[in-house]
């Protein structure tokens, strides 16, 4: 807990049911809010009470252990003179800001002097801004996938396209329901934010909209790359089928000739060498003529 200039900031990372009694001794929160904090099955929302706000937010977090993007829940209680943050997973922006306020006296006094509303803005703004480096990595992956497709490595990038598409879908699941919460936050911020700081929460909403627009752009891009890659793979498959079809057509008359002269009956020229070579030359001539015809028609 950090306290300065009459404002308290309590940060409990990955809170457990045992922390509930500690919170109940210091704060008078509604029992349903405690259930929401420890249930971990919530949606983004803002609940207004007479003397505090209860906010549930979700932010994208890359889990290195499983190598995929997950949603980290951040529960916040905001009152006139306090701010309680309860992330269910380690959130680097929250940890960083809390540590800075704890170790930097000048910064702590500067932020705490502006009230709990300003602290709320700094935390949410840092968490939203943390999305942009993740989006930049997604953009780089899409560029690499595009380069690989046009370099002729379509078969190798199928898995990469699937992975990027999954990341974009997971990211959208986190951001989409939260847009309405940020809009509500613009309305409720007046309770704990001075008039001269009103523009700050508008900035959060703008940043959230930029994140959503980038996700929309990436969604369209990955769908276009997937369609392009499928088209390239289909074209390559058509080339293979065309070659196989041409070879089949070329060998069809040769197979017919060989079948006729291979019958177990008496045929002209049997037991003679010259007719054999004549047949061989004729077969090569037919094959060469058909190949030349197919190349002239650009079928091969």
Q: Which domain holds residue 275?
A: 235-296
Could you tell me the two tokens for 281? 């030359």
Question: Measured between alpha carbons, how far is 279 from 171 in angstroms, rounded to an integer?
Answer: 69
User: Cα separation of 195 and 242, whole Å?
Assistant: 72
Looking at the fold, whether 137 and 283 belong to one and the same domain comes out as: no
Give the number of other Cβ atoms within 10 Å of residue 81's Cβ. Answer: 13
Query: Is residue 170's pLDDT more than 80?
Result: yes
Instruction: Kindly state whether residues 162 and 262 are assigned to the same domain.
Output: no
Whether residues 251 and 109 share a domain: the answer is: no
Domain boundary among 189, 208, 234: 234
- Based on the domain organization, do 64 and 26 belong to the same domain? yes
28: CATH:
3.30.460.20
pLDDT for residue 194: 61
Residue 164 has pLDDT above 80, yes or no: yes
Do both 251 and 229 map to the same domain? Answer: no
CB-based contacts of 260, cutoff 8 Å, min separation 6? 267
pLDDT digits (tens, 9 = 90+) for 240-294: 777 777 778 878 888 877 777 777 777 776 677 777 787 888 888 888 887 787 7
Give percent of the chain with pLDDT exceeding 90: 0
Q: What is the pTM of this model?
A: 0.74
Please check whether residues 193 and 283 belong to one and the same domain: no
Show which of 186, 209, 234 is a domain's final residue.
Answer: 234
Same domain, 165 and 216: yes
By CB atoms closer than 10 A (0-12, 13-18, 19+), residue 85 is buried
Q: Are residues 241 and 95 in the same domain?
A: no
Q: Are residues 167 and 45 in the same domain?
A: yes
Q: What is the domain count for the chain?
A: 2
**Model confidence over 33-56: pLDDT tens digits?**
888 887 766 788 888 888 888 888
| Shared domain check, 133 and 245 | no
Round the average pLDDT of the chain to a whole number and report it. 80
**Residue 143 and residue 87 share a domain:** yes
Residues 6 or more apart whose CB falls under 8 angstroms from that of 143 comprise none
């Amino acid at each position: 807990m950090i306290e300065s200039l009459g404002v308290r900031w309590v940060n409990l990372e990955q809170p457990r049911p045992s922390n509930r009694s500690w919170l109940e001794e210091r704060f008078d929160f509604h029992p349903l809010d405690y259930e929401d904090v420890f249930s971990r099955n919530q949606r983004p929302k803002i609940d207004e009470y007479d003397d505090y706000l209860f906010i549930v937010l979700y932010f994208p977090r890359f889990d290195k252990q499983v190598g995929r993007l997950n949603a980290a829940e951040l529960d916040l209680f905001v009152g006139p003179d306090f701010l309680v943050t309860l992330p269910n997973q380690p959130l680097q922006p929250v940890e960083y800001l809390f540590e800075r306020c704890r170790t930097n006296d000048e910064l702590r006094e500067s932020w705490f002097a502006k009230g709990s509303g300003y602290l709320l803005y700094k935390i949410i703004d840092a968490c939203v801004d943390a999305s942009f480096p993740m989006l930049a990595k997604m953009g780089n992956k899409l560029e690499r996938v595009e380069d690989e497709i046009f370099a002729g490595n379509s078969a190798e990038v199928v898995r990469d396209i699937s992975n990027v598409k999954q990341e974009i879908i997971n990211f959208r699941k986190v951001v989409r329901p939260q847009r309405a919460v940020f809009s509500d936050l613009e309305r409720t911020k007046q309770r704990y934010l001075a008039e001269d700081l009103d523009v700050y929460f508008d900035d959060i909403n703008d940043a959230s909209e930029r994140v959503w627009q980038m996700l929309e752009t990436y969604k369209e891009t990955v769908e276009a790359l997937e369609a392009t890659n499928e088209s390239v793979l289909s074209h390559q498959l058509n080339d293979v089928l065309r070659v196989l079809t041409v070879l089949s057509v070329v060998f069809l008359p040769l197979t017919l000739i060989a079948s006729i002269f291979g019958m177990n009956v008496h045929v002209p020229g049997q037991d003679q060498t010259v007719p054999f070579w004549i047949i061989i030359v004729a077969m090569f001539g037919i094959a060469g003529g058909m190949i030349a015809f197919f190349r002239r028609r650009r079928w091969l």
